[in-house]
Amino acid sequence: MRSPLPYRPFTMAVSALTLVATCTLVRGDDGQPGIAGRLLGEEGGLELRRLALLKETKLEELLPGERFEASGVDVHDGDFYVVFDDRTDMARIEGDLSLGRWTKTKGDGPGYEGLAWASAEKRFYAVVEAKRHKNRIEGRVAAYDEGLELVDEAWLEGISLPTENKGYEGIAWAQRDDRSHLFALHEGDPDDADDDGSIRGRIDVYRQTKEKDGWKLRGTLKLPKAVDLEDYSGIDIQGDRVVVASQTSSRLWVGTLEKDAWQWKDNGTLYAFPGEEDGKAVYRSIEGVAWVDAGRVVCVSDLLKEGTRGRDKDQSIHIFALAAGGQ
């Protein structure tokens, strides 16, 4: 029996993305190979496993500049494309993290919170967190071609967001029923909190109009109740697998969507970023996440305040393995 979205039911017909980036497998953060995927126990009823760092580089080593408020990332043709919440210019970084370059864009807005590559359309979609529009606060999406030339900009209509700094934190793309869909992640409205006061992550699903001149809300999918993260900072989809990053919790969550119904197969799995020996988090500013392949993800991190734990990991691009071998 199919489980519809709250607004209108539709079925899932996921086309898998093949994303490959070059990266040499190195030993895990404890010096031992095969650390990725090690079972750490349970957290909130979810299986908790460990990520292994494969490679990371400070953005200042790849790009000119002094301040890098990285907020989103995606993979295309073996390279990583990065957006920032304080500018609309984008960065392209080679898959081995050896070189990066800026591309100046003509987008309208202070910056982007997330980025998604649409393989069927040969387009990048970059989301502005929230802007006032017709007495409401809504997200806005800019479309770019492969050369990062602006194609158009459109509102994500149908959801009124709480404030201009409490909007969409990430975006992902997938094709459903031969139509493009965007999955926009946010933390929900405080009025929609659970009984214990926690605000679950929400994915607002938008479908492209038949005229391809905008996006209309199709429904909202909440993360499973067991996914009790302190915030939600990034999202990506590969096939039927969804990955969500949490900056404050220093966690990744991976869940699987049913292929023929709009529901989660189960509660999914949590992954902990590598930490210090005292168990405290050092990856405390992860803002964007994208699948590299079935066993690896790439993340980007925002700026942390001076003197804050984890400053050696901020303003960087990181590649992690979810499973031993990183594939």
Please tell me what DSSP assigns to residue 275: B
Q: What pLDDT is attached to residue 226?
A: 92
Q: What pLDDT is attached to residue 189?
A: 61
For the chain, give the mean pLDDT.
85
pTM over 0.75: yes
Q: What pLDDT is attached to residue 18?
A: 30
pLDDT band at 192 (very low <50, low <70, confident <90, very high): low
CA 260 to chain CA centroid, Å, is 23
Q: What pLDDT is attached to residue 177?
A: 75
For the record, the structure tokens of 100 come out as 């990066």
- Say whether pLDDT at 30 is over 50: no
CATH number of the domain at 108, please: 2.115.10
Would you say residue 297 lies in a domain?
yes
| Contact predicate 92/74, CB 8 Å | no
- Out of 22-31, 90-99, 188-197, the most confident range is 90-99
For residues 64-68, give the mean pLDDT. Answer: 94
Would you say residue 85 lies in a domain?
yes
Mapped onto helix, strand or coil, the DSSP state of residue 171 is strand
Percent with pLDDT over 90 in the chain: 63
Strands 150-157 and 215-222: parallel
| Contact predicate 318/268, CB 8 Å | no
Torsion of CA 134, 104, 182, 188, to 10 degrees: -60
- Say whether pLDDT at 194 is over 80: no
| Burial class of residue 82, CB neighbours in 10 A (0-12, 13-18, 19+) | buried
- Say whether pLDDT at 68 is over 50: yes
Q: How many domains does the chain have?
A: 1
For residues 130-149, give the mean pLDDT. Answer: 93
Would you say residue 237 lies in a domain?
yes
Would you say residue 87 lies in a domain?
yes
Would you say residue 165 lies in a domain?
yes
Would you say residue 33 lies in a domain?
no
Nearest Cα neighbor of 251 from 223, 218, 274, 220 is 274
Would you say residue 300 lies in a domain?
yes
Would you say residue 77 lies in a domain?
yes
- Say whether pLDDT at 244 is over 90: yes
For residues 16-37, give the mean pLDDT. Answer: 44
- Say whether pLDDT at 286 is over 80: yes
For residues 174-190, give the mean pLDDT. Answer: 83
Mapped onto helix, strand or coil, the DSSP state of residue 24 is coil
Token match 């001149």: residue? Answer: 213
- For 188: left if phi > 0, alpha if psi spans -120 to 50, otherwise beta; the answer is left
- Say whether pLDDT at 176 is over 50: yes
For residues 217-230, give the mean pLDDT. Answer: 92
Note the residue count of the chain.
Answer: 327
pLDDT band at 198 (very low <50, low <70, confident <90, very high): low
The neighbour count for residue 38, using CB atoms within 10 Å, is: 17
pLDDT band at 212 (very low <50, low <70, confident <90, very high): confident
Give residue 223's domain range: 39-321
CA geometry: angle at 117 spanning 116 and 121, to 5°? 130
For the record, the structure tokens of 177 come out as 């029923």
Higher pLDDT, 182 or 133: 182
The neighbour count for residue 119, using CB atoms within 10 Å, is: 15
